[in-house]
Every structure is written in structure tokens, then in C-alpha cells.
């Protein structure tokens, strides 16, 4: 079976520099997909860039941590469902079309209070939900495994090569990433590694390695949820 790889960037829309970096990784590197935070301060700018780059698959990055908008009451199933639906509708308005896939900031959709609703929405829309579709998710391309400690070697070319060579199963794999340009006003615990990720994802050696390993590069636009 052909092994197919999707490089998907979280946090599209969180800040202008992150948007620019994601689009650069798509135009000059191996990034094929990204996930939009509809409550991000640069969400409208992200939507504009998405229209300018139609080959970039744009999904929804549900944001429920309360930093950009009030978090729902997780003890109230109706409130959780309403917020998920609200953000889905917002993504459709911003993009002018449905998103190509579904995931969430800090993987909150996997929590017991959220997952049943996320699964129902994925089934209704026919969109792949991270962790619940045919696409195997790998989150190891990340530089901060201890809070506040950046270890940039984990997002270098050698680290990504190791993932591609040793961690991919047959079928589809999503490699999560967080590239971007870090502007002075960008507030996040994960800052400098974003530009290191950007450098790796645009390094010609990565595309060469994909070819050498016989890996097919694709986007979430080609993936549908089971039964869709």
C-alpha cells in the first residue's frame, strides 16, 4: 500500500506572522494543509490567504481553552455542542466553503466531554477528525517536551527524517506542525521553535527524502471520513 503523508499546520489565524509562515511553508515547502482558529485575531487575514492559495487545504482548529473567546461550560453538553457548531459555521463563513478536516487546539476534542459531539459533527459533515479517521496522527515533530524548554533539534531536518523513515504506517499519516514567523507582539509559550519548524519544512532535503522513501505528499482535501 502506498504511504501518503500530510503535513498539517495548526494555529492558522492566531497572528499575522503565523499566517505568513504557514503560507510560505505551503508555497516553498512540503506543507499541504492547515487548521484555522476562527477566534484568532488574524482569522480574517488567514481566510484571505487561503483564497489566494486554493491548493492549501484548510480545516477547523476548534479553540476551547478560553483565551480567545469564552470557553464553554464543559459540564453542559448543550453548551459544548453549541460552541463546536458555532466555530464550524464561522469557519465556513470565513472560508466561503466547508473546512477540509477537523481538529482542535491542545487536542481538546479528545476530552470525554467533547469527543462524542466532535464525532457526530465529523460523521454529519463527512470530514476527517484527528484521531478518529483513517489518517494516523503523529505529533512528535515538536520542540518543547518540557514546559518552557526549547529543544530545536526535535524540529530539525534529521528529526523529521527519522519520523518519515521509522514512524509511518501504511496508508495515510498526518504530521502535525506549528511553523510561523514570530512577530514581537505574538504571545505564546511556543515561539522560537516555530521559525525552526519553518526552516525545516522548506528545506529542499525534506522533499528529496519524500521521493527517496517513496512517500506520496497529499492534503486533507483528498481525505473523507468513513462512510462519507
Torsional sign, CA 202, 207, 210, 212 = negative
**CA R_g for the chain:** 17
Which residues face 34 on adjacent strands? 9, 58
Whether 19 and 45 have beta carbons less than 8 Å apart is answered as yes
**Farthest CA pair distance, the chain:** 50
Pairwise CA distance, residues 9 & 197, whole Å = 10
Count Cα atoms within 13 angstroms, Cβ side, for 137: 19
Pairwise CA distance, residues 175 & 162, whole Å = 12
Query: Concatenated DSSP letters for 108-130?
Result: GGGSTTTHHHHHHHHHHHT-EET
Residue 76 annotated to the active site = no
Which of 10, 11, 63, 103 is catalytic? The answer is 10
Q: Which three cell numbers stand for residue 76?
A: 453542559
Residues belonging to the active site? 10
Amino acid at each position: 500500500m502506498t504511504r501518503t503523508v500530510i503535513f498539517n499546520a495548526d494555529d492558522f489565524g492566531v497572528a499575522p506572522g503565523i499566517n505568513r509562515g504557514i503560507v510560505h511553508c505551503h508555497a516553498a515547502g512540503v506543507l499541504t494543509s492547515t487548521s484555522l482558529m476562527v477566534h484568532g485575531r488574524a482569522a480574517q487575514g488567514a481566510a484571505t490567504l487561503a483564497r489566494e492559495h486554493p491548493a492549501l487545504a484548510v480545516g477547523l482548529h476548534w479553540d476551547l481553552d478560553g483565551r480567545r473567546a469564552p470557553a464553554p461550560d464543559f459540564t453542559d453538553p448543550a453548551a459544548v455542542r453549541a460552541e463546536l457548531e458555532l466555530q464550524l459555521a464561522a469557519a465556513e463563513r470565513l472560508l466561503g466553503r466547508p473546512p477540509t478536516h477537523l481538529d482542535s487546539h491542545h487536542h481538546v476534542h479528545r476530552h470525554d466531554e467533547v469527543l462524542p459531539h466532535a464525532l457526530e459533527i465529523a460523521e454529519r459533515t463527512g470530514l476527517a477528525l484527528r484521531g478518529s479517521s483513517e489518517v494516523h496522527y503523529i505529533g512528535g515533530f515538536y520542540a518543547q517536551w518540557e514546559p518552557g524548554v526549547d529543544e530545536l533539534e526535535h524540529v530539525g531536518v534529521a528529526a523529521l527524517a527519522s519520523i518519515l523513515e521509522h514512524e509511518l504506517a501504511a496508508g495515510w499519516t498526518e504530521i502535525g506542525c506549528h511553523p510561523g514567523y514570530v512577530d514581537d507582539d505574538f504571545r505564546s509559550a511556543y515561539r522560537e521553535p516555530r521559525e525552526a519548524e519553518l526552516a525545516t519544512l522548506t528545506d529542499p532535503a525534506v522533499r528529496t527524502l519524500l521521493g527517496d522513501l517513496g512517500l506520496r505528499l497529499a492534503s486533507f482535501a483528498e481525505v473523507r471520513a468513513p462512510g462519507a
